[in-house]
Amino acid sequence: MIKEEDVITLWIDTKRTYLVKVRKGKKVGSDKGALNLDSIIGLEYGVEVTLSTGNKAYILKPTLIDIYNGLRRPSQVLYPKDIAYMIYSSGIKPGDTVIEAGTGSGFLTISLAHYLGDNGKVITYDIRQDMQEIAKKNVEFLGFSNRVIFKLKDVREGFDETNVDAIFLDMPDPWNVVKFAYHALKPSGSIVIFVPTVNQIEKTGIALKNNGFIDIHAEELILREYQIKENAVRPKNIGVMHTGYIIRGRKSLKSSV
């Protein structure tokens, strides 16, 4: 059931989807009409509601795609297609502890916190306080503050933690952080890095090989959406194609035998 302080998705159509926190006395407006949020408290998710103009809308539980589209993000954030694969390939599980650098607007932070659950922890580093303040507000809005630790520090000087399950890097020169990541990770722990250019792949890959990482891969994901119309199903003219490259590896130990 929908409760006060829940974050909900108000879905009117594919172009009008709103991420909203339910509060008494609050209204959500659009060019298709307004909705008094008092009227939805106690209803079931998925319910159809009527806007002030008579148009119909639906109340849905937010997915990470809804969150991606609805959160404030003054800086470019990683795309859902890349984040999903980064999390999947890292091998992390609910309850784990991970490091992220840099925080940016916080969408990777939120995605990690969502996946790791209440018993997990995301330790996120950035050198820009203004960006972290935006990320903090986004994290608080979704109720994930207990899952995230924010640190204002340049990770080129090292991490404060050891024995973490995975490290995620989204920064211009990750090769300068690889040696510190090795010491911060558990044995067999994963490092997953996002970079936008091929030149960065080479520098990062070599740094990983030179610092005790194995099972190194560099990959690119392409996403193509289709329009669904009767007798006219085809790829959409505009889509998310190249966004960047994912580089991943795992920490090895020297032989003890």
112 lies in the same domain as 188: yes
> Is 154 annotated to bind ligand?
yes
Domain that holds residue 129: 66-251
49 lies in the same domain as 82: no
Q: What is the 8-class DSSP label of residue 238?
A: S
CATH of the domain at 93: 3.40.50.150
Answering whether pTM is above 0.85, one says yes
71 lies in the same domain as 181: yes
Mean pLDDT of 118-131: 96
26 lies in some domain: yes
> Is 106 annotated to bind ligand?
yes
- H helix runs in 198-237, sequence order: 198-210
Q: By the 8 A CB rule, do 184 and 123 touch? A: no
pLDDT value, residue 254: 75
Listed residues 62, 80, 104: the one ending a domain: 62
For residue 166, the cross-strand partners are 98, 190
208 lies in some domain: yes
21 lies in the same domain as 106: no
Mean pLDDT of 155-163: 97
- Report how far residue 147's alpha carbon sits from residue 145's, in angstroms, rounded to the nearest whole number: 5
Sign of the torsion angle spanned by Cα atoms 53, 56, 62, 63: negative
> Is 126 annotated to bind ligand?
yes
Contacts of 198 by beta carbon, 8 Å cutoff, 6+ apart: 245
159 lies in the same domain as 222: yes
- Report how far residue 161's alpha carbon sits from residue 158's, in angstroms, rounded to the nearest whole number: 9
> Is 185 annotated to bind ligand?
no
112 lies in the same domain as 199: yes
Burial annotation 146-169 (CB, 10 A radius, 16+ → b, else e): ebbebbeeebeeebebeebbbbbb
Count up the domains in the chain and report the number. Answer: 2
1 lies in some domain: no
> Is 130 annotated to bind ligand?
no
199 lies in some domain: yes
139 lies in some domain: yes
18 lies in the same domain as 108: no
> Is 38 annotated to bind ligand?
no
Bridge pairing between strands 164-170 and 56-60: unpaired
**22-65 residue pLDDT tens:** 999 999 999 999 999 999 999 999 999 999 999 999 999 999 99
> Is 105 annotated to bind ligand?
yes
